[in-house]
Chain A
């Protein structure tokens, strides 16, 4: 009950914040600082939201693995890159899209099996920090391996998403069509995952593992199989994220750094909450765009690089469990 109340609150609060920031900017413009226009402001905010959906998608991969295995998977970013590279590479061989998508899925599944076998299983019962550093190793392995196999030049990815612009409100707001489509895909994926987690047998097992490894083992849930499933699902999410980001930026090594931005998203949303990952992504995406366009010019630009992290830092200081996270953080 508390949870749904909080979610409702945080769905309304951003709207209020949006209007307040709008008035602040209007006031600043009237004082001669920067410029302001409600339509333009809304357009920037909407673009930010659509970018934010893609951040959420990457963050979702982190949350899935963290929930199920308590491993903070730093390699999620490079999984995004790896999946996108594999996908593009297959397309480059002339494999049609409908075939290369399942092939990439199989590759991600194999990857999950290998990671579970080679990395996670020997490190069972180790401290979180050790597992975290191991995933940094995986990060480098995938980043190097993916580029070694498929090359490191920027590759354009075009899977037939529309590229036009949509006019809203009589042309006052223009949005990229493909951003709307990707946002739709991401929303669909989230819905599917929510059903998967809440309604299926496997999903229940996943939640049981997340709560308590040993208790789950003792009621007969196969821990190893569950881990493979989780990493596979994270791989699927990574593939979708990779395709959507790759369509926007091209498939290139910086994709894995884009994925790093999912970390502040997680801090904002809370590490264990799927709705948290979504709303966190939206806030970060929107805040980043608005900050860059309206405030960035005042301090020299490119504040996109750190805005998300500093926002997360503020959150860490005042609300370390994030918006929807469980209060499991061990206070020191």
Chain B
């Protein structure tokens, strides 16, 4: 009853194509954003902010990035970890080489560098399709990690191979978002705004001409060619934009989430983690990227709590294996039962909500 769009007429194309065509959606989103921005930082504990919310927001960016490539353009990539590492190390090199550069600019530039690397490894996708490409991206994953591990230039010759984020403020020397002085609240609020803007960018990209060309390539590449879409441009742009997001995510991970990172943090399991987010959340849905990331962040924590509650002497390895099994089973389950993931469940819930509380 509350969630009815009856009576909301659209009189222009612009109104029809608005991000939130239904008033209740707009209202709901506004309330949610306000809650996330103004209420959460005050009520959440430091632990909750640091290990759950900031982690979640960083992963969302990677998840959006991979979803653009896999969900929207149909190109499977197993190299997300390598591209995240590229973003992290690019940001580190940039900010240590140019200390005066604004940190947001550093993040964006490191995204651009990752985009270049991504295009380089995406070139095989012009000749091959499907899982052949997965192998090409695996090459990226292993090669990039080896590069960052072995070439001391990338870590500024740090003996441990670890890069640690230097303190950088949003506004001169105040409002630190990286380094030891940064408070979790500042980091969190910055991330909410930054990730929100990135998500808006992604949303508008997939609604635009370029996003449509990706989806056309995904659905049927020959038909797409026939209506005048150049596969070369579409695929490489998908690779570039996807790597841009994933690179930024890696930079955020290194600078804001963990503060100090080594190349090993972006091993192949990270790539799978990001892939699982978009499969569980929903391929080809930006909302799915958010839901999937939330799921992947929350499930291990819940699992840990539940299993230790059942048997307090349980060891970490066993929990890890349970986690593996549950993820594996969920992947298969979702692919069979609900290939559009959690995002589709949300859609169904909205359908139900239109009639609620009446049966029909």
Contact = CB atoms under 8 A, between A and B. Distances in A.
Interface of A: 72, 118-119, 122-123, 126, 128-130, 132-134, 136-145, 147-148, 152, 257, 260, 263-264, 266-267, 299-303, 305-306, 309-310, 312-313, 316-317, 320, 329-332
Contacts of A267: 132, 135
B146 A306 contact: yes
B279 A316 contact: no
10 contacts: A133-B275, A134-B331, A141-B325, A141-B329, A144-B324, A144-B325, A148-B325, A305-B142, A312-B135, A312-B136
Nearest to B141: A309
B328 A306 contact: no
Given A132-B134, A141-B329, A332-B221, A299 B150 contact: yes
Contacts of A123: 335-336
Given A137-B332, A137-B335, A141-B332, A320 B127 contact: yes
A141 B324 contact: yes
Given A132-B76, A330-B129, A144 B321 contact: yes
Contact of B339 (A130, A301, A303, A309): A130
Nearest to B334: A137
B282 interface: no
A118 B335 contact: no
B321 A320 contact: no
B196 interface: no
A317 B131 CA distance: 15
B277 to A, nearest CB: 12
A305 B146 contact: yes
A266 B272 CA distance: 21
Interface residues of B, number: 50
Contacts, number: 144
B328 A141 contact: yes
Interface in B235-274: 235, 268, 272
Contacts of B326: 144
B317 A309 contact: no
Contact of A317 (B74, B123, B336): B123
B272 A136 contact: yes
Contacts of B128: 316, 320, 329, 332
B160 interface: no
Nearest to A146: B321
Given A129-B130, A329-B129, A313 B150 contact: no
Nearest to A147: B321
A137 B329 contact: yes
A332 B224 CA distance: 11
Contacts of B131: 72, 128-129, 132
A329 B127 CA distance: 9
B331 A143 contact: no
A312 B138 CA distance: 10
Interface in B190-209: none
Query: Interface centre among A147, A148, A316, A320, by most B CB within 10 Å?
Result: A316
A300 B145 CA distance: 13
A310 B336 CA distance: 34
A133 B330 CA distance: 12
Contacts of B130: 72, 128-129, 132
A119 B332 CA distance: 7
Contacts of B339: 130
